[in-house]
Amino acid sequence: MVTMADEQVRTLGECRIDSPLAALLRTGPTTKHYVDESDRVLLDDTVSLVAARGVPVEELPGFEPGGPRRKIFFDPSKTRVGIVTCGGLCPGLNDVIRALVLELTNHYGVRRIFGFRNGYQGMIARYGRSVVDLDASLVAGINEYGGTILGTSRGNQDPDEIVDCLEQLSVNVLFVIGGDGSMRGALKIAEVVAERGRRIAVVGVPKTIDNDIPYIERSFGFQTAFAKATEAIRAAHVEATAFPNGIGLVQLMGRHSGFIACYAALANNDADYVLIPEVPFSLDGPGGFLAHLRARVVSRGHAMIVVAEGAGQEFLLDSASSLDASGNVRLQDFGRYLRHRIAEDFAAAGVEANLKYIDPSYTIRSVPANPYDSVYCIRLAHAAVHAAMAGRTEMVVGRWRGRFVHVPIALAISSRNLVDPDGDLWMSVLEATGQPPVFA
Ligand code: F6P
């Protein structure tokens, strides 16, 4: 169970410098749309969850709110900043980079910002340490494009070498834009910084289209990615309804978490089945998925299936396979397997089937952010700059219960955000698809 101590954000020292943003700040206490810096954003949001804690209000677990502080830790005129993007692509990376640079230069007056190229590799001598100076003109318009102007890579690098690099460039603040693997790396960097007695802030902006980082409600780029995925579902559905016994099958990214599959399916409201890693299912037998699908196609003339790539891995023989550079298990192709099993099942039953399979794969994460995600990216970047300039470290910025908050990295990597099979999202999927709660 998460306690107040787990949510405590580490600070490099007392904030003594007047913030250049102080004039913009309201001076009163928390209101409906503003959380005072001394307040906390509660972890729980129902009466029963709060009551179950059995502690006085002031001991309820809650996050430090994001936003500008009246006093800051770093003197902007002497502050040097580094920015790195790591791991798989995600819509909005360039929006975050640009917003970090503009906030640091235009509002805080920071004069030197380094961009490390190709993820953590850009900080390592053996890869030819690749650093670029970032300024407002260099980042102009980059948010119009997908990908990251800095480049990215998977895999962590030696944290000692990274801190050597930060020290040699006299960097005081490092922003890491990355997923859970990159945040594990960021935590190690912050630990080495602490061991060396250095005052370098390490602040993360959590990134993943899978939306699988806990305590941040929703990761940037997720909304754009599932919106793009709806195009594949729409196409497969058109195909499925145009042919006798048509079946549309779309496989979407989502290694451990089926959020993209659920949201894309709900957005179209055309899916009859959604299969995700969090909800196990049987393929064979009278109560299995294949029998149910065949019965539906025979009675209704078509069916639309959405699968998350991490679903059904247990059906694939060699699923105990290798790891990628980030330590993720390399998945087997369940979509293709299912396509084959459906064809086999219909053929064995002597029923015609016209199956159209689409896997939009990387096309959903290489696009620019949509306007909603762009706004979110900018606001996350602003919150990250405010936190770092106030000397916060070993933390990521997030949004919880609709408020910007500071989450210690240790907490953000302590678990995975999963679709709850007993929760209201999965209930909505069952309601929209009409699929049975269990294929057994
Ligand atoms: O982690 C996000 C993600 O988009 C997963 O859904 C997907 O399995 C993975 O990245 C693929 O990334 P790559 O092929 O670049 O390693």
**DSSP result, 205-268:** EEB-TT---TTSSS-BTHHHHHHHHHHHHHHHHHHHHHSTTEEEEEEE--SS--HHHHHHHHHH
Cβ count near 53 (within 10 Å): 15
Residues 312 and 390 in one domain: no
CATH number reported for the structural domain that contains residue 209 in this entry? 3.40.50.450
Residues 256 and 183 in one domain: no
| Cα 369 to averaged position of ligand 1 atoms, centre (Å) | 17
Q: Which amino acid is at 368?
A: P
Residues 307 and 387 in one domain: no
Residues 199 and 312 in one domain: no
Q: Please state the domain count of the chain.
A: 2
Ligand 1 binding pocket (C-beta < 6 A) is 88, 179, 208-210, 253-255, 309, 324, 365
**Domain-embedded: residue 349:** yes
Specify whether 324 is catalytic.
no
Q: Which residues are annotated as a binding site for Mg(2+)?
A: 180
d(CA 276, CA 413) in angstroms, rounded, equals 22
Q: Is the dihedral of CA 185, 189, 190, 192 positive or negative?
A: positive
**Ligand 1: which of 180, 207, 255 to mutate, judged by most atoms within 8 Å of the beta carbon?**
255
Distance of CA 72 to CAs 11, 19, 21, 105, Å?
11, 6, 10, 15
Q: pLDDT category, 317, cuts 50, 70, 90?
A: low
pLDDT score of 28: 76
Q: pLDDT category, 33, cuts 50, 70, 90?
A: confident
DSSP3 helix / strand / coil % (the chain, rounded to 5):
40, 20, 45
pLDDT tens-digit readout, 239-298: 999 999 999 999 999 999 999 999 999 999 999 999 999 999 999 999 999 999 999 999
pLDDT score of 29: 85
Residues 355 and 392 in one domain: no
d(CA 309, CA 187) in angstroms, rounded, equals 29
**Among candidates 297, 286, 277, which has minimal Cα distance to 342?**
297
| Cα 88 to averaged position of ligand 1 atoms, centre (Å) | 6
Q: pLDDT category, 320, cuts 50, 70, 90?
A: low
For the record, the structure tokens of 321 come out as 């396979």
Q: pLDDT category, 4, cuts 50, 70, 90?
A: confident
Burial class (CB in 10 A: 0-12, 13-18, 19+), 235: middle
Check residue 380 and give left, alpha or beta (phi > 0: left; psi -120 to 50: alpha): alpha
Please measure the distance between the N-terminal and C-terminal CA atoms of the chain and give it in whole angstroms.
33
**Among candidates 65, 26, 113, 6, which has minimal Cα distance to 400?**
65
Q: Which helix (H) or strand (E) holds 131?
A: strand 131-133
Residues 170 and 41 in one domain: yes
pLDDT score of 324: 76
What share of the chain has pLDDT > 70, as a percent? 99
**Domain-embedded: residue 169:** yes
Cβ count near 162 (within 10 Å): 26
Q: pLDDT category, 318, cuts 50, 70, 90?
A: low
Residues 140 and 237 in one domain: no
Q: Which helix (H) or strand (E) holds 293?
A: helix 289-300
Q: pLDDT category, 228, cuts 50, 70, 90?
A: very high
CATH number reported for the structural domain that contains residue 286 in this entry? 3.40.50.460
Cα-based angle 99, 157, 159 (whole degrees, multiple of 5): 85
Residues 201 and 105 in one domain: yes
For the record, the structure tokens of 3 come out as 């306690």
pLDDT score of 200: 98
Residue 329 has pLDDT above 80, yes or no: no
d(CA 362, CA 288) in angstroms, rounded, equals 31
* 8 A C-beta contact, residue 278 and residue 433: no
Closest approach atom of ligand 1 to CA 87: 15
**Domain-embedded: residue 408:** no
Domain extent, residue 374, equals 5-219+369-400
Q: Which residues are annotated as a binding site?
A: 88, 154-155, 179-182, 208-210, 253-255, 309, 362-365
Q: pLDDT category, 25, cuts 50, 70, 90?
A: confident
Cβ count near 365 (within 10 Å): 25
Residues 30 and 164 in one domain: yes
| Cα 255 to averaged position of ligand 1 atoms, centre (Å) | 7
d(CA 336, CA 241) in angstroms, rounded, equals 21
Confidence (pTM): 0.96
Residues 205 and 233 in one domain: no
What share of the chain has pLDDT > 90, as a percent? 90
Q: Helix or strand or coil: residue 65?
A: strand
pLDDT tens-digit readout, 135-184: 999 999 999 999 999 999 998 899 999 999 999 999 999 999 999 999 99
| Selected catalytic residue, list 95, 210, 212, 345 | 210
For the record, the structure tokens of 39 come out as 């307040």
Residues 239 and 307 in one domain: yes
Q: pLDDT category, 321, cuts 50, 70, 90?
A: low
pLDDT score of 433: 98
